[in-house]
Structure formats: C-alpha cells, structure tokens
Amino acid sequence: MYETLIPSLLITFREALEAALIVTIIITYLRKIGKQELNKYSIMGALIAVISSVLVGIAINSYYGGLSEVASQLFEGIASLTAVVVLTSMIIWMTKHSKEIKGELEGKIEQAVTQSEVYSISALSFVAVAREGLETVLFLTASFVQDQLGTIIGALVGIATVFGISLVLMRGTMNLEIGKFFRVTSILLLIFGAGLTGYGVHELIEAGEGSGYDLGVLGEKPFDINPGLNSDGTYPVLHENGLVGSILKALIGYDGNPEWLRIIVYVGYWIVIGSYLYKQSKI
C-alpha cells in the first residue's frame, strides 16, 4: 500500500495546494481592492473544475475495468508514461515561472474587474483548478490501477491537509514561501516521476510479451536481489513488496529484478531531466 499511498499523498497535496494558492490569491486580491462580492465567482469556477476532474477520473477508471489482462497492462503503461510527461512538464514550467505567478494573476484579476467581466474571475479559477485536477487524475489513474485503497487514502489525506492550509492562508495567519515550496516539492516529484517511468516501461514490456513480442536482451532481467518469501508466505521487509522495500519502491522506484529496458529508461530520465533542472536552478 505504501508504494501508492505516499506518491498519491504528495501528488495530491502538491497539485491541490498549487490550485488552492491560485484561488487564495484571487480571493485575497479581490478583498484587497474591495471587490469581495466577486469571491463567489472564483469559488464557483473552482468547484466546477473539481467536479469535472472527478467525472473524468471516474470515466477513465470505468473504461479500465472492462479491459483484458494484456490491454490492462498496455493501459497502465500508457497511463503511467502520460502522467510522467504531464508531471515533468509541470515541474519544468513551475521551475521557470513560480516567481511570476502572483503578479500575472493579479494583473488578470484587475483587468477582469475593470472591464466588469465577472465570469472571467470564474474562468481564472476554473482553468487553474482544472489544470491541476487533470494532472492529478492522470497520476492517480496510474496509481489507482496498482492499489485502489492506498491511492484513495493518500489522495484524501493530501486534500484534507491542503484544505486546512488554505483556511489558514486566507485568514492571513501563515506566510508560505511559494518559490521555496515549489523547489522542494519539484525534487520529490522528480523522484516519483523517475519511478513511475520505470513502472510504465515495465507494464509495456509485459503487455508486449503477453502479445507474443520478444524484446530480446532489453526484456531480460540482469539480476534479482529480492529475498525469498518467509516461511509463513509473507514478504521479507527488504523485498520490493515488503515493508521497507515497498516504501523504497514508492520513493525512488525501487525494483529488485528490473528489465534492462527499464533500467536504461530510468537512468536516462534522471540524466536528461535532472541535468536540465539543475542547469535551470543555476540561471
């Protein structure tokens, strides 16, 4: 359960907090310029986005439930890699623009209020929350097919935590360093992204083998460091499905017997994305 609970909690927390920060900026700024009566439009846009994201998630998982084993593996692989692309793109974008968000958003609010376009306020909230909602749905779909309970618990804890923080932020009793927050969480998300990349490749390999495709040496497993099962049939703590192993699997994408292709892609992800973000941090 840990292999999905921890990533789901952090992803949901990060995405929900990002959306909540934007909505909080809108509400706080409207209050600052004496237009707090427009707050309802911001909240309305956010609620519509949340409902839309939930419906998309239900639709995707309903579709997954009717697939064959090979099709399910193919779906999991594609869903995981799609989530990685979206997640990584978001990390790169936030690395470049996290310091500019507040000023740009306040400018758009000022324009909407000046032109009496009240529904533009709803649109700002909707777009912000819907974007984060879609990213969350894509990741949770990849996580949900692995472990439903762990994913749900992680997501609920993440949302509940963000809700509490949002209330404190709107009351002005807490100052969050947005830039520092995104830098720290981006590193953690990069780690999860690498692990999810490896998992997605593994599922595609299994789908290919299940369909009769031979990947040759790329599909071979060069080692297996997983210890054998305990006498009672349970997993040892260091097994990839054991207590410690499952936590490492969640945090760094640990796999005791990976395929060559998975190793190559996993290391490649770290080299390419890690190097890019490191260079960006020096600019």
Q: Which is more confident, 99 or 232?
A: 232
Task: Convert the pLDDT of each residue in 46-102 to its tens digit.
Answer: 899 989 988 988 888 777 666 777 888 888 888 888 888 887 887 787 777 666 666
Q: Which residue has the tokens 């994305």?
A: 273
Q: Averaged over 100-120, what is the pLDDT?
A: 70
More confident residue, 236 or 110: 236
Burial of 271 (0-12, 13-18, 19+ CB in 10 A): exposed
Please tell me the distance from the alpha carbon of residue 274 to that of residue 20, in angstroms, as a whole number.
27
What's the whole-number average pLDDT of the chain?
A: 80
* pTM, 2 dp: 0.70
pLDDT score at 65: 65
| Tokens representing residue 46 in the block | 């956010």
Give the residue with greater pLDDT, 246 vs 204: 204
202-to-67, 109, 168, 217 alpha-carbon distances in Å: 18, 45, 42, 14
What is the pLDDT confidence band of residue 258, given thresholds at 50, 70 and 90?
very high
Residue with the two structure tokens 């994913």: 151
Q: In the chain, pLDDT over 70 holds for what percent of residues?
A: 84
pLDDT band at 173 (very low <50, low <70, confident <90, very high): very low
Helix boundaries (H) for the chain: 2-32, 39-65, 69-97, 101-114, 118-144, 148-170, 178-210, 243-252, 260-282
pLDDT score of 181? 66
Query: Quick one: average pLDDT of 191-197?
Result: 84
Burial class (CB in 10 A: 0-12, 13-18, 19+), 138: buried
pLDDT for residue 261: 95
- Domain range summary for the chain, segments of one domain joined by +: 2-177
| C-beta separation of 141 from 64 below 8 A | yes
